[in-house]
Amino acid sequence: MNQILDRVKSPKDLKQLKMKDLSKLAKEMRTLIIDTVSKTGGHLSSNLGVVELTLALHYAFDTPEDKIIWDVGHQCYPHKILTGRRDIFPNLRQYNGMSGFPCRGESEHDVYDTGHASTALSAALGMSIARDRKKEDYHVVAVVGDGSLTGGIAWEALNQIGHLKEKLIIVLNYNEMSISQNVGAISKYLSYIVSEQYYLKIKDLVKSILKVIPAVGKPMIKVGGAVEEAIKKTFFPGLVFEELGVKYIGPISGHNTGSLIEIFEKAKTYDGPVLIHCVTQKGKGYAPAKKNPERFHSASPFDVESGKLLNKDKKPTFSSVFGQTVMKLGEEDEKIIAITAAMPDGTGLKSFGQKYPGRFFDVGIAEQHAVEFAAGLGVSGFKPVVAIYSTFLQRAYDQLYHDVCLMDIPVVFALDRAGIVPDDGPTHQGINDIIYLRHMPHMIVMAPKDENELQHMIKSALSYSHPTAVRFPKGKGLGVALDEKIEEIPLGKSELLKEGKDLFLAFGSMVNPALKAAKKLEKEGISLAVVNARFAKPLDEEMILRFARKGRTIITVEEGVTAGGFGSAVRELLDRQKKYSVRFKSIGIPLEIYPLGKTDLIKKKYLLDEKGLFLQIKEFYGVAS
Ligand SMILES: Cc1ncc(C[n+]2csc(CCOP(=O)(O)OP(=O)(O)O)c2C)c(N)n1
């Protein structure tokens, strides 16, 4: 059925194909990607957009000798299919399956693991310099999207690339989209370069300049090419890249494999940094994704025929409850300003942005800037709510510490996707935030037990007048009713959910399984009081010490790495009270490289589901199974 694809087991096989076969191959690859992602879920639109680009790269370059670095890496499916992983492609993003991102452990063709945006240019420069120092001879290619080019680190890299003039190739995959429509001045600039207006201006300019050069003018108009290029450089310095010292080629179609190969061959001969500006279309080849590239950016399983998502669970997500809450609170308080770093939809803030465009900012993939920008607003009396996924806020550690927390500026951080994150693997796990937030001066750290409590926590966070983080998991809530009236939670106050002898103190998403496990443990003769901690900082010290004073066992549980996390905070509190002797156990995620797959399977692995908690605690108490 796949007449061409069946013949391609490696990039070497690709090079045996005739040019005319490449477009058939592109079609077959698209069908494979659509069919697979419709079952596994995944980054559909971006991958459909880079099929020809990837074919051309593997045709022109020789991996693994030549190195291709994929920025973010979410667009690597065609690369994986062409580099010997077609057989494992059906296991895309599955537990113990194939990663949806470049993964060095998977193939020698993946030279650099990615997942977070804007890193490829810096890594490519480092690899180019290493190549030259080692007197080796190969090409280094960084593929970066226009969305990822909004990240400051990409410009820090360009700053050094243009200065050092190291030989390396940058492929700018321009599709006008980040996850949503790309935003900002750089995006505007790039779209101007590819616009017709720009071409018409150049044409007019070339004509008018040549007309005023007597005698030679007319023939030169026909010469076009080189002359046009020279005028373009002089009057439209393309060229911000040229100004920075990087040769600019483009804009060219990213869907014409033949001309892409020609240009890549040309770029290989250039002895310095060169950027090739390719224009692609996100979702190409699949009508529903082309029509709605945002929805299919990271799609859950869908019906190929209709493009309809298969997930029928109607419970609201934590993100949507967060978005509704900010909307509700924003109606009453004009000082509330919502900020996202390229995730208006994912964070649930899109509707707020539509209703209050003047109080909503999408800063691009720029988490550090988002935090610093919020600090500026907060220090001036506004109430910024910054919604960033737990894993991506790691980027802004210094802004959190040096700016927001040292100055005690009231900024609310909504950490979506906190805890175990399904499908995307180690780069996207949100399991470090309790650790990197807990030791910040003035910072308050909260986590709700369900989506209803999330509403109250967002309101509370806005009332505390300190930097406050609220972490909550990816996906659907528990389906509990949402209180009409949103109320403040007293700072540092926990909630007793079940009476018992010893203390089982659960944080956020672990409250519900902890409660269920404790009820089962009761039948085994283990009596646990279950407390919803609500706060990792400040802790409800009085409540914890009540148990400690009586010499009761204390068990903590969190959906995060235990080293330095919530359990550590409780242990430190107990350590400070030298007079009490308490048996203590902290349950959470160990330090290791985290697996890929669905949340329930990962929770099962770490014994963090109801059954796992039951078994761990029974063992801790020495109760035989
Ligand atoms: C630091 C960081 N923030 C946010 C994200 C989430 N994210 C994944 S892909 C993406 C958009 C990337 O846009 P672009 O580079 O243009 O690639 P495209 O999907 O358009 O091909 C974003 C925001 C991320 N991976 N890393």
Query: In this structure, which residue's CA is closest to atom 22 in ligand 1?
Result: 179
Q: Is there a single domain that holds both residue 416 and residue 559?
A: no
- Residue at 486 is within a domain: no
Q: Which of 76, 148, 194, 421 to mutate to test the pocket of ligand 1 (most atoms within 8 A of CB)?
A: 148
Ligand 1 pocket check for 148: Cβ under 6 Å: yes
Neighbouring residues of 48: CB distance < 8 A, sequence distance ≥ 6? 30, 33, 34, 282, 283, 284, 285, 286, 289
Residue 254 has what pLDDT? Answer: 97
- Residue at 258 is within a domain: yes
pLDDT > 60? residue 516: yes
- Residue at 73 is within a domain: yes
- Residue at 328 is within a domain: yes
| 295 CA to centre of ligand 1 in angstroms | 14
Take residue 510 and report the two structure tokens written for it: 């672990």
Residue 313 has what pLDDT? Answer: 83
Q: Is there a single domain that holds both residue 325 and residue 432?
A: yes
Rounded Cα distance, 442 and 448, in Å: 20
**What region, left, alpha or beta, does residue 188 occupy, with left being phi > 0 and alpha being psi -120 to 50 degrees?**
alpha
User: For residues 307 and 44, is the Cβ–Cβ distance under 8 A?
Assistant: no
CA dist list (Å): 192 to 127, 248, 502? 32, 15, 65
| 527 CA to centre of ligand 1 in angstroms | 47
Residue 595 has what pLDDT? Answer: 84
User: For residues 407 and 440, is the Cβ–Cβ distance under 8 A?
Assistant: no
Instruction: End-to-end CA distance of the chain: give it in Å, rounded.
Output: 54
pLDDT > 50? residue 438: yes
| 534 CA to centre of ligand 1 in angstroms | 32
Ligand 1 pocket check for 387: Cβ under 6 Å: no
Ligand 1 pocket check for 175: Cβ under 6 Å: yes
Backbone angles phi and psi of 395, in degrees to 5: -55, -30
Q: Is there a single domain that holds both residue 464 and residue 532?
A: no
The pLDDT-based confidence of 87 (bands split at 50, 70, 90) is: very high
Ligand 1 pocket check for 85: Cβ under 6 Å: no
User: For residues 49 and 75, is the Cβ–Cβ distance under 8 A?
Assistant: yes
- Residue at 388 is within a domain: yes
Residue 203 has what pLDDT? Answer: 66
Residue 181 has what pLDDT? Answer: 87
Ligand 1 pocket check for 282: Cβ under 6 Å: yes
Q: Is there a single domain that holds both residue 454 and residue 570?
A: no
The pLDDT-based confidence of 2 (bands split at 50, 70, 90) is: confident
Q: Is the peptide bond before 422 cis (omega within 30 degrees of 0)?
A: no
- Which atom in ligand 1 lies closest to the alpha carbon of residue 43? 19
Query: Which of the two residues, 220 and 86, has the higher pLDDT score?
Result: 86
Ligand 1 pocket check for 428: Cβ under 6 Å: no
Q: Is there a single domain that holds both residue 430 and residue 505?
A: no
Mean pLDDT within 106-133: 98
| 173 CA to centre of ligand 1 in angstroms | 12
Q: Is the dihedral of CA 475, 478, 481, 485 positive or negative?
A: negative
Q: Is there a single domain that holds both residue 25 and residue 96?
A: yes
**Domain range for 526:** 495-620
Residue 220 has what pLDDT? Answer: 47
The pLDDT-based confidence of 66 (bands split at 50, 70, 90) is: very high
Residue 221 has what pLDDT? Answer: 45
* pLDDT tens, position by position, 475-515: 999 999 999 999 999 999 999 999 999 999 999 999 999 99
User: Which amino acid would we find at residue 120?
Assistant: A
Q: Is there a single domain that holds both residue 260 and residue 378?
A: no
CA atoms within 13 A on the CB side of 392: 30
Ligand 1 pocket check for 147: Cβ under 6 Å: yes
Take residue 516 and report the two structure tokens written for it: 């269920």
User: For residues 84 and 10, is the Cβ–Cβ distance under 8 A?
Assistant: yes
Mean pLDDT within 140-156: 97
- Residue at 297 is within a domain: no
* pLDDT tens, position by position, 537-564: 999 999 999 999 999 999 999 999 999 9
Mean pLDDT within 452-479: 98
Active site residue 282: yes
546: CATH: 3.40.50.920
444, with CB counted inside 10 A (0-12, 13-18, 19+), is: buried
- Which atom in ligand 1 lies closest to the alpha carbon of residue 72? 25
| 424 CA to centre of ligand 1 in angstroms | 13
Q: Is there a single domain that holds both residue 134 and residue 269?
A: yes
Residue 578 has what pLDDT? Answer: 84
Ligand 1 pocket check for 41: Cβ under 6 Å: no
pLDDT > 70? residue 467: yes
* pLDDT tens, position by position, 394-425: 999 999 999 999 999 999 999 999 999 999 99
- Residue at 478 is within a domain: no
Residue 314 has what pLDDT? Answer: 85
Residue 311 has what pLDDT? Answer: 80
pTM reported for the whole predicted model? 0.94
76: CATH: 3.40.50.970
Q: Is there a single domain that holds both residue 462 and residue 577?
A: no
Rounded Cα distance, 370 and 365, in Å: 9
Q: Do strands 273-279 and 168-174 pair parallel, antiparallel, or not at all (unpaired)?
A: parallel
* pLDDT tens, position by position, 350-402: 999 999 999 999 999 999 999 999 999 999 999 999 999 999 999 999 999 99
CA dist list (Å): 153 to 148, 273, 388? 9, 17, 18
CA dist list (Å): 561 to 115, 425, 534? 20, 15, 17
Q: Report the interhelical angle of 120-133 vs 152-164 (nearest 10°).
A: 30
Ligand 1 pocket check for 179: Cβ under 6 Å: yes
**Secondary structure class of 302 (helix, strand, coil):** strand
Rounded Cα distance, 12 and 48, in Å: 22
Percentage, residues of the chain above pLDDT 90: 87
Helix (H) / strand (E) containing 384: strand 383-389
Q: Which of 47, 71, 75, 365 to mutate to test the pocket of ligand 1 (most atoms within 8 A of CB)?
A: 365
Point out the domain boundary residue: 438, 471, 504. Answer: 471
pLDDT > 80? residue 526: yes
CA atoms within 13 A on the CB side of 575: 6
pLDDT > 90? residue 195: no
Active site residue 552: no
Backbone angles phi and psi of 420, in degrees to 5: -75, 130
| 573 CA to centre of ligand 1 in angstroms | 40
Query: Which of the two residues, 218 and 543, has the higher pLDDT score?
Result: 543
- Residue at 204 is within a domain: no
Angle at 554 between CA 548 and CA 560, to 5 degrees: 130
pLDDT > 60? residue 174: yes
Q: Which of 51, 76, 178 to mutate to test the pocket of ligand 1 (most atoms within 8 A of CB)?
A: 178
Query: In this structure, which residue's CA is closest to atom 25 in ligand 1?
Result: 116
Q: Is there a single domain that holds both residue 512 and residue 463?
A: no
Active site residue 367: yes
338-350 residues labelled b (16+ CB within 10 A) or e (exposed): bbbbbbbbbbbbb
Residue 169 has what pLDDT? Answer: 98
| 207 CA to centre of ligand 1 in angstroms | 40
Total domains, the chain: 3
Ligand 1 pocket check for 145: Cβ under 6 Å: yes
User: For residues 594 and 602, is the Cβ–Cβ distance under 8 A?
Assistant: yes
Rounded Cα distance, 598 and 112, in Å: 24
Q: Which of 69, 72, 349 to mutate to test the pocket of ligand 1 (most atoms within 8 A of CB)?
A: 72
Ligand 1 pocket check for 393: Cβ under 6 Å: no
Residue 456 has what pLDDT? Answer: 98
* pLDDT tens, position by position, 220-260: 444 445 666 666 666 554 589 999 999 999 899 999 999 99
The pLDDT-based confidence of 192 (bands split at 50, 70, 90) is: confident
Q: Is there a single domain that holds both residue 48 and residue 142?
A: yes
Catalytic residue from among 395, 459, 471, 474: 395
Q: Is there a single domain that holds both residue 96 and residue 161?
A: yes
Average pLDDT value over all residues in the chain? 94
Ligand 1 pocket check for 117: Cβ under 6 Å: yes
Catalytic residue from among 247, 282, 350, 438: 282
Ligand 1 pocket check for 146: Cβ under 6 Å: yes
Rounded Cα distance, 230 and 247, in Å: 13
CA dist list (Å): 624 to 30, 360, 525, 560, 608? 54, 56, 11, 28, 20
Query: In this structure, which residue's CA is closest to atom 21 in ligand 1?
Result: 46
The answer to which of 103-117, 132-146, 581-595 has the lowest mean pLDDT is: 581-595
Ligand 1 pocket check for 72: Cβ under 6 Å: yes
Query: In this structure, which residue's CA is closest to atom 19 in ligand 1?
Result: 46
